[in-house]
Chains A and B, each alone.
Chain A
Amino acid sequence: QKEVEQDPGPLSVPEGAIVSLNCTYSNSAFQYFMWYRQYSRKGPELLMYTYSSGNKEDGRFTAQVDKSSKYISLFIRDSQPSDSATYLCAMSATGAQKLVFGQGTRLTINP
């Protein structure tokens, strides 16, 4: 079993919908939680990061971390066709330099 599990999708929703993406993990040492967006043939780019538990909001994006359940989520409000991409969750432990990524969820927003 992988340390980080993420449903690969694909997920297809109409423009304007609220999108919910999530990951589960098994390593209780993870303290840093990130969401990256990856467009086709590009490298991942950092969208959101959260330290430990809680919520963080940035524009249309909200990241949530529930350490008790080992579950993290990313919500996208008022989704746009330009949000169509693969979304990767990533995590790291305190003092660790490497990130552990989920498989990625491929998202399509239909106009």
Chain B
Amino acid sequence: GAGVSQSPRYKVAKRGQDVALRCDPISGHVSLFWYQQALGQGPEFLTYFQNEAQLDKSGLPSDRFFAERPEGSVSTLKIQRTQQEDSAVYLCASSLEHPGGPYGYTFGSGTRLTVV
């Protein structure tokens, strides 16, 4: 597709439920990123893939968070045993090259997760 597609757009989960968030990057983009954006805050880095390899997961807040990109295209961010503090918008981005280059990141519209 023309842009980064994320689904679902909105997700309400009861505390303790597991959730899975999907990201379809731009075709041909080898780099894929997940960010978490709390209300009124800037995005914070969670994890980075180059093709299918997860090269940096330093931003994942706990072992309840897990991300995968098995075929180097679609990625899934899974959150186990959701907590209220997990409520945020989860943004996926893809990039052809280094994010500081002229193309930068292309972000999806995000998945808004609300844990009740």
Contacts and interface: CB of A to CB of B under 8 A. Distances in A.
Nearest to A2: B42
Contact of B100 (A4, A45, A49, A101): A49
A18 interface: no
Contacts of B45: 98-100
B40 to A, nearest CB: 7
Given A41-B109, A98-B59, A99-B99, A88 B43 contact: yes
Specify the main secondary structure of chain B where it touches its partner. Answer: loop
Contacts of A101: 42-44
Contact of A32 (B31, B42, B99): B99
A20 B98 CA distance: 28
Contacts of A6: 42
A63 interface: no
B91 interface: yes
Contact count band on B: 20 to 34
Specify the main secondary structure of chain A where it touches its partner. Answer: strand
A8 interface: yes
Interface string A16-45: 000000000000000111100000011111
19 contacts: A32-B98, A32-B101, A33-B100, A41-B112, A43-B4, A44-B105, A45-B107, A49-B104, A92-B99, A97-B33, A97-B56, A97-B98, A98-B33, A98-B99, A99-B45, A102-B42, A104-B40, A104-B41, A104-B42
Interface of A: 4, 6, 8, 31-34, 41-46, 49, 51, 88, 90, 92, 97-104
